[in-house]
Amino acid sequence: MEIPVMNEVSGTDKTRMEPMSGNAEDYLARVEKLNQLGIALSSEKNFPKLLEEVLVGAKELTHADAGTLYTVTQRNTLKFEIIRTDSLNIAKGGTTGVEIGFPEIPLYSDGVPNLEMVAPSAVLQGTTINIPNAYEAEGYDFSGTRTFDRNTGYRSISFLTVPLKNHDNEVIGVLQLINAIDGETKQIVPFGMTDQRIAESLASQAAMAMTNRTLINDLEKLFESFIQTIASAIDDKSPYTARHCEKVPVIAEMLARAAKESTIGDLKHFDPTAEEMNEIRMAAWMHDCGKVVTPEHVVDKTTKLEAIVDRTRMVALRLELVRKEWEIEQFKERTSATEGRGSLESEKGTQDLDQRLRQLEEDVEFIKKINKGEDFMTEQRLDRLREIGQKYWWTDGAGERHPLLEEDELYNLSIPRGTLTQEQRRIINHHVVVTKKMLSALPFPRHLRHVPEMAGSHHETMNGTGYPEGLKREQMSIGARIMAIADIFEALTAADRPYKPAKTLSESLKILGFMKKSGHIDPDLFQVFMDQKIYMEYARTYLSPEQIDEIPLESIPGYVAR
């Protein structure tokens, strides 16, 4: 649309400018619109959309045909955020998805303030600049504007440039409006004092909204970075759980997104907002924060005999000393036989020594095997361990005999499965209590208030046999149930655990299936996990090719393909 130009334009001195024509009813309508816009800005969470609402609202309130909103960067430049020109149908930035592409405008050139351009001048001087006619104005460089006008056929005449100041009176942006349009004549007119005051009022509200949103965004980023730093520190505490706290959120988010689309059971009511999805992610990052108090020698225990000092070597040294002593005894017996001093009894003694050495070697291999904790300690194995424990390796000068295995070593080697004693397992399990205690002490904002419950319940089960509180399914949020599956699946497929090799996908899914059947994990979420192939989505990025094997779905316990 071609915009008509006024024949006469008043001067640049704003003290001489008159308000735009209009009546009290129009003025009150604009004030009401200003109030509504202020309320809308205070609740807008999307920063680009907030900026867009500021510019669009300012154009509407001042009847401007065009406008630009800039933000001040840390590089001392003005960045184009939103551009609108109605008559040319130009809309860039904001929610349009159209890139603006203009370079940032420097506030300084070689240390000299850029006062030749209107927008930088408004920033540097902190005042509103109202120009009735850019083609007659002096003291400002409008060469870029005039080039734009020549290329487009546009006519940029009246300018209203308002700085946006925050609570510290710092300019954080600039609102520039172009070509006020008279409502009756449709001619371009200067921006009146009423326009200027309304624009300045809106700029004040916009600056407050922008500052609040920036502060909130910065606090959220700081909080999230702090959480991730704590989680990384927990992972770094043990080389065997590296990236666990990083990967559990990945699985939890995948499962939460899939559950959101599901209509199975009570999942049909599960429709988390973006904030609630973020809450699940935060809980997943923090689910193991209680491990800061768990001793490394328990977390990193790779064998049954390992402790602060690895007793595996001590036991091996005793066995080696016994073997050396018997070999010396055997050597003496054979030397006597060779020199003719032997007898049938000495030959029998040599044979007994040979048998004892062979038995000792078998005992050594047996202890090495059970020390790994990979196989279940049957009653037969326990009997053999007790038999070895009755042997002695040294008699001191006082005549006291020292057993081959100390009482505590026998206790640890008797662990039924894995490498942890009951006491050590309680220490490990206590991290959930600490997690819940730590997180419950934090003043989480309302939109993150469920983080302690979700993070602190990832070891609870659906049938109430979990810990620390023995909760049942109906006592747990869906987020907490998601956390439990994410934690288990990551642990099953992890290749960095000291007590087990990495399991394949089929092995891991079978274990999950058995846990579903036994009431340990949520059946609906397990169904979604399988139906939507969350396991494969995760595996493609985080598992080694050797772990991604064929998965006969009919062999997965408790799963019926839909």
Q: Are 73 and 193 within one domain?
A: yes
Residues present in the chain in total: 562
The SS3 assignment for 93 reads strand
Q: Are 210 and 336 within one domain?
A: no
- Does 73 fall in a domain? yes
- Does 561 fall in a domain? no
Q: How many domains does the chain have?
A: 3
Q: Are 348 and 455 within one domain?
A: no
What's the rounded mean pLDDT across residues 8-21?
39
- What tokens does 423 get? 């006491």
- Does 506 fall in a domain? yes
The SS3 assignment for 189 reads strand
Distance CA(235)–CA(115), nearest Å, equals 53
> Are the beta carbons of 74 and 191 closer than 8 angstroms?
no
Q: Are 149 and 293 within one domain?
A: no
At 47-64, the pLDDT tens digits run 888 888 888 989 999 999
Question: Which of 417, 451, 474 is a domain's end point?
Answer: 417
Residues 6+ apart with CB under 8 A from 384: 366
- Give the CA diameter of the chain: 138
Distance CA(562)–CA(552), nearest Å, equals 14
Q: Are 197 and 78 within one domain?
A: yes
Provide the domain limits for residue 101.
14-215
* pLDDT above 80: residue 334: no
Confidence of residue 242 (pLDDT cuts 50, 70, 90): low
- Say which residue, 357 or 504, is predicted with more confidence: 504
At 163-209, the pLDDT tens digits run 999 888 899 999 999 999 998 899 999 999 989 998 998 888 888 88
- Does 283 fall in a domain? yes
- The answer to whether the pTM exceeds 0.85 is no
Q: Are 291 and 339 within one domain?
A: no
pLDDT of 18: 46
At 381-427, the pLDDT tens digits run 999 999 988 887 777 778 788 888 888 888 899 989 888 888 888 88
Considering the chain, what is the average pLDDT of its residues?
Answer: 85
Distance CA(243)–CA(490), nearest Å, equals 10
CATH number for position 446 = 1.10.3210.10
> Are the beta carbons of 294 and 427 closer than 8 angstroms?
yes
Residue 230 has phi, psi (to 5 degrees) of -60, -45
On the question of a cis peptide bond just before residue 452, with omega within 30 degrees of 0, the verdict is no
